[in-house]
Amino acid sequence: MTQRRDFIKKSILGTAGITIGGMGFSAKSYASIMGANDRFRIAVCGVNGRGKSHINGFGKLDNVEIAYLVDPDKKILDERVNLVKDEIASSSAIKGVTDVRTVLDDKNIDAISCATPNHWHSLMVIWAAQAQKHCYVEKPASHDIYEGRVALAAAEKYGIVVQHGTQRRSSDDWAKQVSDIRSGKYGKMLVSHGFACKPREGIGFEPPSTPPPDLDWNLWKGPAVVNNFHKNLVHYNWHWFWPVGNGELNNQGTHQLDVAYWALDSEVENTHPVRVMAIGGRFKWGDQGETPNTMFALAEFSNGQYVFFNVRNVNHEGYQREVTNRFYFEDGGKLWDGEYISSNGSQARNVPIKEVKITPGGNWQSFITACKANDPSMANGTMYDAHYSCTLGHLMNISYRLGEKVPFNARAGRFGDNELAFREFMKIHDIASDGMGVPQDQAEYIVGPWLRFDGEAEHFVGDYSTEANRLLRDPRNAGFDIPSPESV
């Protein structure tokens, strides 16, 4: 809590001396100008997948002009530019460019939104901050833990608004659940459990090939060290390759991880777990992807609370989709999908509710509102929130990536005396066995080690720490490196 208050205070006060648009206005005078001239000019970066939602979302807002679209795929870029010109009157003068640095040099641009592949997200935040532009960044806000810390340092130093693309932070319903939980309405929460279980299919194999002529391959890969182009990278299946994606855990799962983290007690707000582990596999598909399609992970915090997480993506007859959050309390009560379930007479308490405040207007309008107020704390999901909830997923993935193969059976789940963890793991195991048809003892789990994490220093300690610390920071291509948090 102290870190968050200091960040907000520094961010607001720190903007007083920065130059905006090269004109030397203070934050207060800039807010006055924005009030006099309400047109807010934004550039959408990455326009193929999630970027279409950014275009639609920002394009529907009053006094918001989409001034640029940015994408290294010239064919898709031209299509989107023409569509915006035809359908969004306020953005009829839109320009299409392949390199975001062109936009950041334009002093008339107020903000960028980033809907690129994951390996670009933190760099976009850092560059935007250095150019004194606000930034709406898709989830996850970082591809690795180190760059997330640098992005946070940049947001803090330059006082920009950063809003993370975790839309549940803009939801009244989720804010109410979190308010109730953190106020003690159901007693002490023991486990905050997220689920990213949605059906997907395998991606097959694509051989190395020449990039298509309309794609600027060097810009697409940017900081990511990727040896060869293949068609499974462009434009969606990059999610399932470690150099550019983070798997389902930090894809769809980022939303549910963020809610799971949000609901923890305030005493561990803006802290990291003290230890993590993960177990899973990529079953049935036999394809080119690297990330797990089945996973159970858990993280323990300093106050004894746990975050559990499920990934279960293999489609099969009778598949049950679960993309939600559930919460378990000390007296046996549960909050499942917003409904309280009593256990042995447990009941909700009549306690004062300390409401979690959100900026109204949904995720798109709340970002614009925060930017016009020049107030980073008004973002629904600040860069602080983003760094800590994304790191939670990165830590779980690191345990998985360091795992060893063991036979696929119920004995693979090793959680000490955590009975609830074993029960939740067995639900996934039974589904994999009976629903997916994974054969007992003939397939393999990957069982990650328990990793201990020093949250203050943001590095691993103890067993496996040498190997784990190598995964804190990705290698980067020349020209796309990032400064240290101290020199950003």
The reply to whether 107 and 27 lie within a common domain is yes
263 lies in some domain: yes
By DSSP bridging, strand 294-300 and strand 275-281 are antiparallel
412 lies in some domain: yes
* Pair 338, 173: CB distance under 8 Å: yes
Q: For 28, phi and psi rounded to 5 degrees?
A: -65, -45
Q: Which amino acid is at 315?
A: N
Q: What is the pLDDT along the chain (488 residues), one digit of tens a residue?
A: 444 445 444 443 343 333 333 333 333 334 334 443 679 999 999 999 999 999 999 999 999 999 999 999 999 999 999 999 999 999 999 999 999 999 999 999 999 999 999 999 999 999 999 999 999 999 999 999 999 999 999 999 999 999 999 999 999 999 999 999 999 999 999 999 999 999 999 999 999 999 999 999 999 999 999 999 999 999 999 999 999 999 999 999 999 999 999 999 999 999 999 999 999 999 999 999 999 999 999 999 999 999 999 999 999 999 999 999 999 999 999 999 999 999 999 999 999 999 999 999 999 999 999 999 999 999 999 999 999 999 999 999 999 999 999 999 999 998 989 999 999 999 999 999 999 999 999 999 999 999 999 999 999 999 999 999 999 999 999 999 999 999 99
* pLDDT at site 314: 98
Per-residue burial over 288-297, b if 16 or more Cβ lie within 10 Å, else e, is bbebbbbbbb
218 lies in some domain: yes
* Pair 411, 372: CB distance under 8 Å: no
DSSP state of 284: S
Residues 6+ apart with CB under 8 A from 210: 229
* Pair 164, 137: CB distance under 8 Å: yes
Boundary of a domain, candidates 149, 169, 189 = 169
The reply to whether 159 and 110 lie within a common domain is yes
CATH of the domain at 277: 3.30.360.10
The reply to whether 229 and 142 lie within a common domain is no
Total number of domains in the chain: 2
379 lies in some domain: no
The reply to whether 85 and 162 lie within a common domain is yes
Q: What whole-number distance in Å separates Cα of residue 207 and Cα of residue 211?
A: 12
The reply to whether 238 and 337 lie within a common domain is yes
143 lies in some domain: yes
* pLDDT at site 414: 83
Number of H helices, E strands in the chain: 14, 17
* pLDDT at site 27: 38
Q: Which amino acid is at 128?
A: A
| Both tokens assigned to 144 | 């690795």
The reply to whether 192 and 273 lie within a common domain is yes
43 lies in some domain: yes
441 lies in some domain: yes
| Both tokens assigned to 252 | 């769809």
Boundary of a domain, candidates 169, 193, 217 = 169
* pLDDT at site 35: 40
User: Quick one: which of 291, 315, 357 has its CA closest to 199?
Assistant: 315
C-alpha distances in Å from residue 213, one per residue of 144, 237, 339: 30, 20, 53
* pLDDT at site 2: 45
Note down the domain range covering 33.
2-169
CATH of the domain at 20: 3.40.50.720
The reply to whether 430 and 462 lie within a common domain is yes
* pLDDT at site 6: 52
The reply to whether 403 and 254 lie within a common domain is yes
Q: What whole-number distance in Å separates Cα of residue 188 and Cα of residue 182?
A: 9
57 lies in some domain: yes
The reply to whether 115 and 230 lie within a common domain is no
Per-residue burial over 74-106, b if 16 or more Cβ lie within 10 Å, else e, is bebbebbbeebeeebebbeebebbbebeebbeb
The reply to whether 14 and 31 lie within a common domain is yes
The reply to whether 280 and 150 lie within a common domain is no
User: Quick one: which of 271, 142, 240, 254 has its CA closest to 194?
Assistant: 254
Quote the pTM value.
Answer: 0.92
* pLDDT at site 38: 79
The reply to whether 163 and 222 lie within a common domain is no
